[in-house]
A and B are shown apart, each in its own frame.
Chain A
Amino acid sequence: GQSLEQPSEVTAVEGAIVQINCTYQTSGFYGLSWYQQHDGGAPTFLSYNALDGLEETGRFSSFLSRSDSYGYLLLQELQMKDSASYFCAGSIKAAGNKLTFGGGTRVLVKP
């Protein structure tokens, strides 16, 4: 089966750095994605790692280590608008190239 574990909630202040970890157990896994979802909104794509290492996209970076079945999303220079839920999702190499989502991490940014 497939499962992805992430912390349920993280609180930080504006300007800080937050790291959201994601550990996974998946068969047929080939990549890790991260999605952001604001309250009442739809998930939107943030980042994708197909290979081990760091991917940087502006203030957000994502890391993958296949040998450790582990990845993380790094949010830098936190802003109030970053208050949202963040989901890691494992890509499964099977018909439909489905995603299996973790339970999500709620990030609360305080002034």
Chain B
Amino acid sequence: NAGVTQTPKFRVLKTGQSMTLLCAQDMNHEYMYWYRQDPGMGLRLIHYSVGEGTTAKGEVPDGYNVSRLKKQNFLLGLESAAPSQTSVYFCASRLTGLGETQYFGPGTRLLVL
């Protein structure tokens, strides 16, 4: 049982390049989330999904797109990377229901030059 995994662990991009971050969970969780965390700050929600085939915008969605084609996977895309998107990206998942714990992946460190 791997929990929540993220690919890649680290990536360097040039401004304008695109990339996709992959999140996978093997806990059969319905809800999945993408956050970004800037140095010394809390986590901010980018996009989330309440089930396969559904996605919704979070607090800071601009410049990102997501897809949830399979229940276990949640993809985060950057179409044209900008230096302001340099951050650590965390994926999380949880069961449905109030108060359920979110389980986080190990994070992807992204540097945009």
Interface residues of chain A, those whose CB is within 8 Å of chain B, are: 30-31, 33, 41-45, 48, 50, 87, 91, 93, 95-104
Chain A residues in 8 Å Cβ range of B33: 96, 98-99
Q: How large is the interface on B (under 10, 10 to 19, 20 to 34, 35 or more residues)?
A: 20 to 34
23 A-B pairs (CB sep. < 8 Å): A31-B98, A33-B99, A33-B101, A41-B106, A42-B90, A42-B105, A42-B106, A44-B104, A45-B103, A50-B98, A50-B99, A87-B42, A91-B99, A95-B56, A96-B49, A96-B56, A97-B94, A97-B97, A100-B59, A102-B42, A103-B42, A104-B40, A104-B41
> Among A45, A91, A101, which residue has its beta carbon within 8 angstroms of that of B42?
A101
Tell me the total A-B contact number using a CB cutoff of 8 A: 62
Determine the distance from Cα of A48 to Cα of B44 in the docked complex, in whole angstroms: 19
Tell me if A96 and B50 are in contact (CB < 8 A): yes
Let me know if B69 is at the binding interface, CB within 8 A.
no
Consensus secondary structure, chain B interface: loop
Contact A101-B44, Cβ < 8 Å, known A31-B98, A96-B50:
yes
Tell me the smallest distance from the CB of B42 to a CB of chain A, in Å: 4
Chain B residues in 8 Å Cβ range of A50: 98-99
Chain B residues in 8 Å Cβ range of A30: 98-99
Contact A45-B41, Cβ < 8 Å, known A96-B50, A97-B31, A98-B48:
no
